[in-house]
Amino acid sequence: MPGLKKVFIHFLSLASLFCVPLPSVADEIEKFYAGKSMSMIIGSSSGGGYDTLARAVARHIVRHIPGGPVISVRHMPGAGGIAAANHLYSVAAKDGSTIGLLRNLVPLEPLFGTPQAEYDATKFNWIGTLAAETGVMIVWHTSSFKSIEDVRSREFLAASDGINSQSAFFSRVFNELLGTKIKVIGGYKGQNEAYLAIERGEVDSFGITYWSSLTSTKQAWLKDNKIRILLQYGPVREPDLADVPYAPDLLKSEEDRLLFQAAYSPLTLGRPFVLPPDVPPSRVAAIRKAFIDMLEDPVFKEEAGRLGLQTNWPRTGIQLQDELVRIHAMPRSVLENLKRLANAR
């Protein structure tokens, strides 16, 4: 989608013109961030795609924040990413010194009635995302599962990193809408542990794998054809996976298509960066502008390409906020079905 990307980057350039603080505000922002030690909290374990993304953004966004702060990355896995969101919402400093990288199902957990989710996602200050996500269903190259039809015909073991996690949720969605026979196997701390289990043959797959995660952390798998991709899904079809079935095409009823669209709406959020609630608006604007400027930075673009980070559909904080409003406005019947799938055990 190169044309769309050019239009979007042009939009970001125009948007940045209207985000420049007034001189007195700019002085205050630079004074606050000068020499500041910031934290970036991510709701996943180390070594995976979120870790790679967080560290790359932490290295580059600081060059666009007035005052030149430094950012350290902190991992806070637990409850499928909910623990990190709870911390950002209620514990983290509300002064603009703490950034979060959320797992993208996390904003919907309060909508699902998940009791552990002690936050209102609409009150976070959304910064932006590098790309929409494309989910893929993978198996090891020696697996007896050759196609999605095989997953419909016999039991398929999918690793999960939490009963409320995306990996468990999407396994239930596939069983409901595609007629698959996925059995969720819990107890894995995160993506890396699940990948090792796939290699060892303990499980057939991980409940959800992002194409961006594979391109950034498992380039050797792709180069050496170590995995087979059975299915792709998300708001956009991945151009690099032209021969892989696209899940929405397999649905037969409009009701099922609408429910699946709602289910993968978190993938539209990509891997979103946020600030806690109640951060001073001038600092929110400064961090949003820094994120936009980073996206246009040739040095960041070079490293993103080298690391395999996907930047196919960048979105601003305002756009992410609008997406959350759209999700909350979906028909009640769709949201009730989503809640049922999210809470099925």
SS3 string of 70-83? EEEEEECCCHHHHH
pLDDT tens-digit series, residues 122-167: 999 999 999 888 999 999 999 999 999 999 999 999 998 777 677 8
Residue with tokens 């989503």: 338
Residue range 2-132+270-328, CATH number: 3.40.190.150
Which segments of the chain belong to CATH 3.40.190.10? 135-265
Provide the pLDDT confidence category of residue 22 given band limits of 50, 70 and 90. Answer: low
pLDDT-based confidence at 202, cuts 50/70/90? very high
pTM equals: 0.74
Q: Collapsing DSSP states into helix, strand and coil, what is residue 19? A: coil
Q: In the chain, which segments carry CATH 3.40.190.150?
A: 2-132+270-328
Better-predicted residue by pLDDT, 236 or 230:
230
**What's the sign of the alpha-carbon dihedral 116, 120, 123, 129?**
positive
Report the alpha-carbon distance of residue 183 to residue 165 in Å, rounded. 14
Q: Closest Cα to residue 295, out of 304, 284, 283?
A: 304
Share of the chain above pLDDT 90, in %: 60
Does the pLDDT of residue 7 top 60, yes or no? no
pLDDT at 133: 85
Q: Has domain 135-265 been given CATH number 3.40.190.10?
A: yes
Least confident of 75-79, 142-146, 227-231, 290-294: 75-79
Mean pLDDT of the chain: 89
Tokens for 12, please give them: 């970001």
**DSSP run (H or E) holding 212:** helix 211-217
Please report the pLDDT score of residue 165 as a whole number.
76
For residue 266, the model assigns a pLDDT of 86
How many Cα neighbours within 13 Å face the side chain of 341?
25
pLDDT given at position 164: 65
Cβ distance 291 to 101 under 8 Å? no
Output helix, strand, coil percentages for the chain, rounded to the nearest 5. Answer: 50, 15, 35
User: Which residues on neighbouring strands pair with residue 125, listed in sequence order?
Assistant: 275
Worst-scoring range by mean pLDDT, 74-83, 91-100, 137-146?
A: 74-83
Average pLDDT over residues 212-221: 89
Pairing of strands 125-129, 315-316: antiparallel
Q: How far apart are CA 311 and CA 240, in angstroms?
A: 14
Is the model's pLDDT at 12 over the cut of 70? Answer: no
